Amino acid sequence: MPITPASATHRSSNGTAEAILLELVDENGTTIGTAEKLAAHQPPGRLHRAFSVFLFDEQGRLLLQQRALGKYHSPGVWSNTCCGHPYPGEAPFAAAARRTFEELGVSPSLMAQAGTVRYHHPDPASGLVEQEYNHLFVGLVQSPLDPDPEEVGATAFVTAGELAERHAKDTFSSWFMTVLDAARPAIRELTQPSAGW
């Protein structure tokens, strides 16, 4: 699979640039077509399939990433471990594992599905809109990170308490709290109650 860059194109097997297509879905998550990535995020937004990954270390701390400044959508903001879009026909689980490796240089351990959430979040800074049917995944990270600087500006492992402090002072993605709250039951099961999630 080609690596999905910060822009909305990728190189095909013959070396030419191709638009990245996303799966459009209905309210039940059934695929109804495709749209070019940037076009799907133009107001009012078109409902499309996405994924969000939450990885934790063995102390129960969440791995956050700060999106690289060069990204066309929500640059420089903090968000969950990894998020993105499956290619048309690609299973969300496979896409989540692929992008986590592409962005952070690690393969998740014990990654499991954590449900889905549907949301509509405009991003005032960019003017783009997130209309997503989002597949959630939780897992562990058990090897050193090797982030791609074109995708990731910084990383941090945080406890639940540290996240609350950071969220009060730093800028986070518009979708972050929605996906975190939706994933909390699976996060608690993975990290145990003592971690405070």
Would you name the residues annotated as active-site residues? 83, 132
Alpha-carbon span 73 to 124, nearest angstrom: 11
Short-list 142, 137, 141, CA closest to 186:
137
Alpha-carbon span 54 to 81, nearest angstrom: 5
Alpha-carbon span 183 to 181, nearest angstrom: 5
Alpha-carbon span 62 to 105, nearest angstrom: 17
Short-list 41, 17, 54, 53, CA closest to 191:
54
Short-list 33, 36, 40, CA closest to 130:
40
Tokens representing 35 are 């749209």
Short-list 83, 109, 112, 72, CA closest to 179:
83
Chain centroid to Cα 197, Å, comes to 19
